[in-house]
Amino acid sequence: MLKTATGQGITRRSFLKTTAVTAAGVAALGGLAGCSSGEETPVEETPTPVEETKIFQSCMGNCSGFGCPCYVTVREGKVANIERAKLKCPDGTDSPYQETCLKGYTNIERMYSHTRVLYPMKRAGERGAGQWEQISWDQAVQEITDKWKQLQADYGPGAVAFMPGSGSILATTSYVNRLKTLMGALSIGLGYDVTGMSCQWNHAGFHPLIMGQNEWRDMVNASNLFIWGTNPTESHIVDYHLVSQAKENGAKIVCIDPIYTTSAAKADPYVPIRPATDGLLAAGMAQIAIRDGFMDKAHIQTLTVGPFLVKDSDGLYLRLSDLGQAEAGSAEDRIMVMDGGQVVAFDTATDPEIEGSFEVEGIAVKPACQILLDRINVWDLETIAEITDIPLATIEELAAIYTSGPSIIYTGFGPDHYSNGQTSYDGMLALADITGQEAKHGAGICCTDYSAPIAQGLVSTSTTDLADIAPAGQSISPAHLHELIEKGELVGIKAPKSVYIYIGNPITNYPDRQKMLKSLGSMEMVVVADMFMSETCLYADYVLPAAFLFERSDLHESFSTFVKHIQKAVEPAGEALSDFEIVKKLGIAMGFEEYFTQNVDEFLASCVTNDTAAAAGITWERLQEENAIWSYPEEPVVLGLNTPIYTTSGRFEFYHEGIKPMHDVGQEWDMKKESCWFWEPPIEAWPETVGGFEAVPEAEKYPLLFISERCKFKTHTMFNNSPMILELDPEPYVKVNPKDAEAYGVGEGDIVRVWNDRGYVVIKVALNAGVRPGMLVIDHGWERDGYIEGHYSDLATSESWPRFEQSNWFDCLVEMEKVQ
């Protein structure tokens, strides 16, 4: 018996009764077709029952679903059907999360697609040519590990790098970390969504339940929902119903986006904004809120770092040790605030000042809130209106809506994809801090999904047991990979000579594809494990066939309110192996057999055999019985209300004392400037001179701003191989505003070349009046073979600002011309 999370039973083995009826029908037809004399007694055919098995399984991908659960029906060794598995919240209501989207239902097609990699493949032509020799697993493993051993012997352990993507965040894909750790190999991190996520964590801390933002269930409690830099009808398909529900509950839905998206169409007001200026809009709204009496002093005093005194000299907090009253760094060395004309430790104050500037024993100080206000007040509202391209009356209207009741800013990763993304998120977060729109239901920020069972410690794939025996590996961000490879060494890290790529398609998905091709091209050996012949596979020396989700057992450790155990439904196609088995083979061949003794079930069981899981009542036995176990509180998680704020100060931090860059690679760093919100235009996406900010020089040649957008037909590059999806969305196109189309002499269906110094793409035009004039938009996720020529990922820059190592796909200027 398989059970859903509610305990509703679903029979694992059931027999189709309908076959009897079918057989009788066939017998009747047979009788007629035979057209016999009618004297013969019709032969009663014994119906052959078709055995069906229903297995708890899941879709997967880095979409907002992150593994929507389903039941797959297995018939004669093949997956024959997919049904959504309705999981339940602890109170018995349907879980609002992870409802299967259109893509999820195409998984059968994907799984049996001709683009599946079925055997280990060795490159037989130029890299990228797609010519392969099928080899045995033994040969593949031998050759790969021989080369790794030689490279590590010649150049050190970091000569081999491991590079993940985000395609399948499951316990077995994390098993790779075991091999990486044992080899002391170089880690190449993830370079996406860094700015958005990190700004949240810097503001509210990394909480094991929730990553710096509130849980999405709370959206339905908002009076006003600001869809600000996200397009959830496309990018959060399975969660969008929360927006609809909020609307049904009477919430006002506001959308701020340069493009009139499908989400914008459902909002009122929709406010188009000049790209990369959201931080200034937030500052303008904050100014108006303060002017109109909506500054929430009590909130700033008690739940933010607002009253903490900051020294003018070094930007650090004034502490008791500065006044000789405690030992620096000791537990007694508390941060000081100004209270009733006295400087006191923050935890003894009753009504601390949040504004003003003071001198304490000759030390000039200001409350952190004053620093924020000074930075906001640098901008006058007219300039903000000019730069954001939003009429002042509209900014007034937005501020009035935002302060009229509990308001949630539902943001996403639009602002993240510009180099100045931090100015947008820090601005939105500061707006919530100043107005007290947080730490209560229906308020705060709901950005990317909730946290993960792995973050909560419920599913642990940790490699700490190897700490004493393995050399400590180094790590580098993809943002610095090219520099590392060009220079051969960067901050003590040597350029890798080989890379193992898994659950990712970096050649398509990182900006400046030509640089990525060059960096990966410099390697002596590139190995990719994938289920499909992705674009990155095409440039590999070895492609290892990975088992599809339905072909393996696993534990979900990615973003979800459930811990889930999926069970192998069918045997892997061809000679595919699960990532677990692939890693195990490689690990044993590298000489680590004693660390790879577990079978997959033993490994999965070990992942949930830990104190945290035990305390939460999560056991391997329960998972086998129930498949999915809810791992969140009953009430929606709201930071500062029903959870602590997980910053070091225990408060929301709009001021970041002593902030350091995410990775110090010798970049210029202005600590004081980075400590608090400021606004500057992005590196490249500034084609016009506005508000005193000069257009970038590139704009003379490349006047158009190019961005990509999520579409419901893809999860990044996944689902490019589903015929059903391709029927709905057969080819890429660039969306062009009709005014620009006229100026460029192009019309619907024309073919254009879009280019800059980094590369070009040749693509069909789709006119779209919702696109802001001066912008071009291509749906994200098409690979090399989708374009007529070139590639959209050749266009974007790999440059980023100093604080975060981020990929800035939207920070990109281009020119366009008609080809035909």
Ligand X SMILES: Nc1nc2c(c(=O)[nH]1)N[C@H]1C(S)=C(S)[C@@H](COP(=O)(O)OP(=O)(O)OC[C@H]3O[C@@H](n4cnc5c(=O)[nH]c(N)nc54)[C@H](O)[C@@H]3O)O[C@H]1N2
Tell me which stretch binds ligand X (CB under 6 A): 49-57, 635-643, 708-716, 759-767: 708-716
Q: Which residues contact 773 (CB under 8 A, 6 or more apart)?
A: 737, 739, 740
Using CB under 6 A, which residues numbered 570 to 629 contact ligand X?
A: 579
Tell me which stretch binds ligand SF4 (CB under 6 A): 58-66, 244-252, 616-624, 644-652: 58-66
Our finding on whether 148 is near ligand X (CB under 6 A) is: no
Residue with nearest beta carbon to Mo ion: 193
Our finding on whether 238 is near ligand SF4 (CB under 6 A) is: yes
Least separation in angstroms between residue 264's CB and ligand SF4 is: 21
Task: Dig out the tokens for 627 from the structure.
Answer: 């498949």
The number of angstroms, rounded, from the C-alpha of 154 to the middle of its chain's C-alpha atoms is 37
Our finding on whether 101 is near ligand SF4 (CB under 6 A) is: yes
Using CB under 6 A, which residues numbered 686 to 745 contact ligand SF4?
A: 715
Contact 207, 643 (CB under 8 A): yes
Residue 184: helix, strand or coil by DSSP? coil
Instruction: Please tell me the distance from the alpha carbon of residue 272 to that of residue 256, in angstroms, as a whole number.
Output: 6
544 or 629: CB nearest ligand X? 544
Instruction: Please tell me the distance from the alpha carbon of residue 574 to that of residue 568, in angstroms, as a whole number.
Output: 16
Among Mo ion, ligand X, ligand SF4, none, the one that 415 touches (CB under a kind-dependent 5 to 8 A) is ligand X
Q: Which helix (H) or strand (E) holds 545?
A: strand 542-545
Among ligand X, ligand SF4, Mo ion, none, the one that 758 touches (CB under a kind-dependent 5 to 8 A) is none
Residue of 738, 720, 716, 731 lying closest to 764 (CA atoms): 731
Using CB under 6 A, which residues numbered 334 to 363 contact ligand SF4?
A: none
Which residues, listed in sequence order, are joined to residue 762 by a DSSP beta bridge? 753, 789
Instruction: Please tell me the distance from the alpha carbon of residue 578 to that of residue 459, in angstroms, as a whole number.
Output: 19
Task: Dig out the tokens for 412 from the structure.
Answer: 């996403």
Exactly one of 113, 304, 553, 715 binds ligand X (CB under 6 A); which one? 715
Residue 457 DSSP one-character state? T
Question: Environment class of residue 188 by beta-carbon count within 10 Å: exposed (0-12), middle (13-18) or buried (19+)?
Answer: buried
Task: Dig out the tokens for 275 from the structure.
Answer: 């790209």
Query: Mask of contacts with ligand X, 33-62, x by CB under 6 A?
Result: ---------------------------xxx
What ranges make up the beta strands (E) of 217-362?
A: 224-228, 252-256, 270-271, 309-311, 336-339, 342-345, 358-360
477 or 722: CB nearest ligand SF4? 722
Least separation in angstroms between residue 101's CB and ligand SF4 is: 3
Which residues, listed in sequence order, are joined to residue 814 by a DSSP beta bridge? 704
Using CB under 6 A, which residues numbered 514 to 573 contact ligand SF4?
A: none
Our finding on whether 779 is near ligand X (CB under 6 A) is: no
Q: Which amino acid is at 387?
A: I
Residue 324 DSSP one-character state? T
Our finding on whether 310 is near ligand SF4 (CB under 6 A) is: no
Question: Environment class of residue 18 by beta-carbon count within 10 Å: exposed (0-12), middle (13-18) or buried (19+)?
Answer: exposed
Our finding on whether 275 is near ligand X (CB under 6 A) is: yes
Exactly one of 718, 746, 761, 814 binds ligand X (CB under 6 A); which one? 718
Tell me which stretch binds ligand SF4 (CB under 6 A): 54-62, 259-267, 568-576, 607-615: 54-62
Exactly one of 71, 148, 192, 346 binds Mo ion (CB under 5 A); which one? 192
Our finding on whether 193 is near Mo ion (CB under 5 A) is: yes
**Number of residues this chain uses to bind ligand SF4 (CB under 6 A):** 14
Our finding on whether 790 is near ligand X (CB under 6 A) is: no
315 or 412: CB nearest ligand X? 412
**Number of residues this chain uses to bind ligand X (CB under 6 A):** 61
User: Residue 193, Cβ neighbours under 10 Å: how many?
Assistant: 19
Least separation in angstroms between residue 80's CB and ligand X is: 22
Among Mo ion, ligand X, ligand SF4, none, the one that 221 touches (CB under a kind-dependent 5 to 8 A) is none
Exactly one of 87, 531, 608, 746 binds ligand X (CB under 6 A); which one? 531
Q: In what order do the strands lie in the sheet with 407-411?
A: 270-271, 252-256, 224-228, 407-411, 444-446
Using CB under 6 A, which residues numbered 361 to 420 contact ligand X?
A: 412-415, 417
| Torsion angle of the four alpha carbons 367, 368, 369, 370, in this order, in degrees rounded to the nearest 10 | 60
Exactly one of 2, 5, 55, 59 binds ligand SF4 (CB under 6 A); which one? 59
Among ligand X, Mo ion, ligand SF4, none, the one that 261 touches (CB under a kind-dependent 5 to 8 A) is ligand X
Our finding on whether 68 is near ligand SF4 (CB under 6 A) is: yes
Cα→Cα distances 743→39, 427, 736, Å: 83, 36, 11
Instruction: Please tell me the distance from the alpha carbon of residue 97 to that of residue 86, in angstroms, as a whole number.
Output: 9
Q: Which residues contact 520 (CB under 8 A, 6 or more apart)?
A: 499, 506, 507, 526, 539
Query: Mask of contacts with ligand X, 419-458, x by CB under 6 A?
Result: ----------------------------------------
Query: Can you give the binding site for ligand SF4, defined by CB under 6 A?
Result: 59-61, 63, 65, 67-68, 100-101, 103-104, 237-238, 715
Query: Can you give the binding site for Mo ion, defined by CB under 5 A?
Result: 192-193
